[in-house]
Amino acid sequence: MNESEHKATLSFSDGTPSVEFPILKGSIGPDVIDIRKLYAQTGKFTYDTGFLSTASCASSVTYIDGDQGQLLYRGYPIEQLAVHCEFLEVCYLIYYGELPNASQFEEFKHLVMHHTMVHEQMQFAVRGFRRDSHPMAVLTSLAGSMAAFYPDSLDINSPEQQDISFIRLIAKMPTMVSMAYKYSIGQPNMYPQNDLSYTANFMHMMFATPCEKYTPNPVLVRALDRIFTLHAEHEQNASTSTVRLCGSSGTSPFSAIAAGVACLWGPAHGGANQACLEMLESIQADGGLAKVGEYMEKVKDKNSGVRLMGFGHRVYKNFDPRAKLMQETCREVLAEMGLENDPLFKLAMALEKIALEDSYYVERKLYPNVDFYSGIVQRALGIPTSMFTCVFALARTIGWVSQWKEMIVDPEYKIGRPRQLYTGLTQRQAMPISQR
């Protein structure tokens, strides 16, 4: 980052002397006002709940232009990566900063695909849960349990151990996700098949059984691989910010990732794909296309508490580029499965059409986000609704661990400790219970 020649001046109407702050420039995107000395110089904090106008860090991983609907991973447009690269190539790019050449990729693939097994005892951690536990509750626990099973890679200041943790997380997340799924349906775990591709191996662990040979459909494998790429990274979203804040205490990377999994589960964030499909299923059950208009009117009524799940975004005030690619993938998968007339897909298209024309949605710049079509395509792939956010977490692990690494190696990083505007009671006397 560079310091602008210009400054920001803060002046007060109560006669307090004005204060100047540096303006820092990134490579693209909005400049930032460096207010790190604000409290020392003015005795005041800024107030920005939800961080609508606050940059929490400097990062070179991902750039989003919400007005242009642009998403770059290490400078490459998501549209190009989704077409030209496998998800593991994108993982290499996001973590190391460059796309691998053929030999680098073969070495990386071999490394990841030979760390896919989890400690055999981890199965007993899963067995401690009820069978009907939500898989995200199980996955949160399994991710955190890696700190117990892999104590030899907890030194966050060791570059070697940082990289070992990275490989273990990327390699074992699919195995842990499939363990949560198999446990929930009462089937035995399927061990990883290291001779399969990363995504074909995940589908094998999810859908194969010991009783018969399972060969993943290559069209569906490619579709799911692209879904992983679309979910891989997204700058300082809620779960990534959680990973950074949690990791800033110096805790293990596994613990920080577990915090990210926990945050992603929320319906306002990664849980929206499950919530969106449930919304479509409920409209379908209520009458389908004939009920779309009524539903869209209900959404406008603030008292209804109803939101159009899969729509809207804090940053994108134009189309989420991932939603467009997800819609294309959706069409491909539905065609491959012979589900071109899938009623939920038709319902989704009808909702999208209204939202793009109705002034309520247009004024609020509510466009489909990555979660809108994700549920439909995952359902067509045979992934149950309760597993949608686990799939999101599997893919987002590369973004979380890469942002964690960027923070840990930054000489400027320190523990995150926001301040507050106190609105509680001023000091008062505590009386013993005999006098209360």
Residues within the interface to ligand SDX (CB under 6 A):
234, 237, 268-270, 272, 299, 307-315, 364, 366, 369-371
User: Closer to ligand SDX at the Cβ: 122 or 370?
Assistant: 370
User: Closer to ligand SDX at the Cβ: 314 or 346?
Assistant: 314
Chain centroid to Cα 179, Å, comes to 20
User: Closer to ligand SDX at the Cβ: 25 or 269?
Assistant: 269
410 carries an active-site annotation: no
CB of 255 to ligand SDX, least distance (A): 20
Do the bridges between strand 2-10 and strand 19-25 make them parallel or antiparallel, or are there none, so unpaired? antiparallel
CB of 271 to ligand SDX, least distance (A): 8
Nearest one of 54, 26, 55, 61 to 234, comparing CA atoms: 61
DSSP string across 251-295: --HHHHHHHHHHHHTSTTTTTHHHHHHHHHHHHHHHTGGGGHHHH
CB of 374 to ligand SDX, least distance (A): 10
CB of 434 to ligand SDX, least distance (A): 49
Q: In angstroms, rounded to a whole number, what is the distance separating the alpha carbons of residues 125 and 216?
A: 28
CB of 397 to ligand SDX, least distance (A): 13
DSSP string across 313-333: -SS-SS--HHHHHHHHHHHHH
User: Closer to ligand SDX at the Cβ: 167 or 308?
Assistant: 308
Q: How far apart are the first and last CA of the chain?
A: 58
Residue with tokens 């907890």: 154
Q: In angstroms, rounded to a whole number, what is the distance separating the alpha carbons of residues 77 and 68?
A: 12
User: Closer to ligand SDX at the Cβ: 119 or 298?
Assistant: 298
Residue closest to ligand SDX when measured from CB atoms: 312
Which phi and psi (to 5°) does residue 340 adopt?
Answer: -55, -30
Nearest one of 369, 260, 351, 270 to 314, comparing CA atoms: 369
Whether 137 and 129 have beta carbons less than 8 Å apart is answered as: yes
371 carries an active-site annotation: yes
Of 313, 320, 358, 410, the active-site residue reads: 313
Active-site residues, by number, are 313, 371
